[in-house]
């Protein structure tokens, strides 16, 4: 069975556009090579959206804690002297995965529908039949960021 | 000029608020379509609504149809600001009564340009 997945270059372009627009250009997002199956090497926040319709899949974003907090401060315009709570971080991570997932959806065959985002303080969970079809490992301020696309069915 | 920002994400509302306030708009916010209807019913009379599509309780498309069904609000300017980018959905929103459509991610200039195209320019930009 062939699995339709976004090209990594397209996925990277989507992530860079969203990131540069809403997080900024001050610190670059750098691609890094990580062997498949390697868990993210720090405490993480994760967000996921699913796509249903002509193309089915899920897009997840996993961010080191420090990255999640930093992007939340930028997106919510919260000064470093002010504290953030988990709801603030969940909101920002949810919007980030919503924008990345929505733009991945636009790369795939339609029509399809995007779910509301689900966010967790910890690693994302996946259905048992979900297979990774694209993964982008990045570093931002020397902290890991991972974008993954999963589809149901056989592995690629 | 007044803007009503309708998005379930506080982060996105914050981003849009900074943009429209920077353009001299007074703004109010709602977390879903139903809350937005409540804001309108409370008497806030916006020149434009910036509307996300996917929201809990009441989505942006339903909000547009409710606004267009109400004679008092029928002339209100509506702009979708959403990740929903399928042509069919864009046509559907415009047919339901949206005047403009912006796909996330967007730049502040993109929002400003759309507002200008709609003839919405604040009379005075705060310092």
Domain assignment present for residue B123? The answer is no
List CB contacts (< 8 A) between B85 and chain A.
102-103, 105-106
* B102 in any annotated domain: yes
In a domain, B39, yes or no: yes
Of A151, A135, A141, the closest CA to residue A62 belongs to A135
Looking at residue A37, its pLDDT comes to 81
> Strands, E, within B7-109: which ranges?
26-30, 48-51, 77-82, 100-103
> Whole-angstrom Cα distance, residue A99 to residue A54?
19
What is the residue range of B36's domain?
2-117
CA A50 to chain centre: 12
All domains in chain A, ordered by first residue:
8-35+45-152 (3.40.1550.10)
Q: How confident is the model at residue B127 (pLDDT cuts 50, 70, 90)?
A: very low
Q: What is the helix (H) or strand (E) element at residue B88, kind and residue range?
A: helix B87-96
State the pairing for strand pair B100-103/B77-82: parallel
Residue range B50-89, pLDDT digits in tens:
999 999 999 999 999 999 999 999 889 999 999 999 999 9
Is residue B27 classed as helix, strand or coil in its secondary structure? strand
Q: Choosing among A102, A105, A118, which should be mutated to test the B contact, i.e. which has the most B CBs within 10 A?
A: A102
Query: Between helices A86-107 and A8-22, what is the axis angle to 10°?
Result: 140
Partner-chain residue, chosen from B9, B56, B105, that has the shortest CB–CB distance to A91:
B9
**Domain count for chain B:** 1
Q: Is residue B76 situated within a structural domain?
A: yes
Domain containing B106 — which CATH number? 3.40.50.2300
Average pLDDT, chain B: 94
Where residue A2 falls among pLDDT bands split at 50, 70, 90? low
Whole-prediction pTM: 0.92
- Give per-residue pLDDT as tens, A86-124: 999 999 999 999 999 999 999 999 899 999 999 999 887
ipTM: 0.90
């Amino acid at each position: 069975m062939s699995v339709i997945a976004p090209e990594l270059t397209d996925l990277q372009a989507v992530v860079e556009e969203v990131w540069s627009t809403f997080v900024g250009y001050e610190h670059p997002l750098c691609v890094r090579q990580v062997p498949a199956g390697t868990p993210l090497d720090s405490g993480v926040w994760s967000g996921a959206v699913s796509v249903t319709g002509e193309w089915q899949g899920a897009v997840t974003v996993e961010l080191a804690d420090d990255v999640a907090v930093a992007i939340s401060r930028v997106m919510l315009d919260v000064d470093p002297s002010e504290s953030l709570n988990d709801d603030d971080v969940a909101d920002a991570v949810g919007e980030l995965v919503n924008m990345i997932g929505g733009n991945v959806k636009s790369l795939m065959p339609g029509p399809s529908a995007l779910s509301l985002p689900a966010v967790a303080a910890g690693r994302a969970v996946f259905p048992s039949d979900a297979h990774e079809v694209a993964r982008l490992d990045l570093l931002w301020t020397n902290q890991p960021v991972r974008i993954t696309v999963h589809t149901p069915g056989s592995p690629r | 000029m007044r803007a009503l920002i309708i998005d379930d994400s506080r982060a996105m509302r914050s981003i849009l608020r900074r943009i429209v306030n920077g353009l001299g708009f007074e703004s109010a916010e709602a977390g879903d379509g139903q809350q937005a209807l409540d804001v309108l019913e409370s008497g806030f009379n916006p020149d434009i609504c910036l509307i996300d599509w996917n929201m809990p309780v009441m989505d942006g498309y339903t909000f547009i149809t409710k606004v267009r069904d109400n004679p008092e609000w029928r002339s209100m300017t509506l702009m979708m600001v959403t990740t929903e980018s399928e042509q069919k959905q864009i046509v559907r929103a415009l047919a339901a009564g949206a005047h403009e459509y912006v796909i996330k991610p967007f730049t502040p200039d993109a929002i400003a340009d759309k507002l200008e195209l709609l003839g919405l320019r604040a009379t005075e930009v705060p310092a």
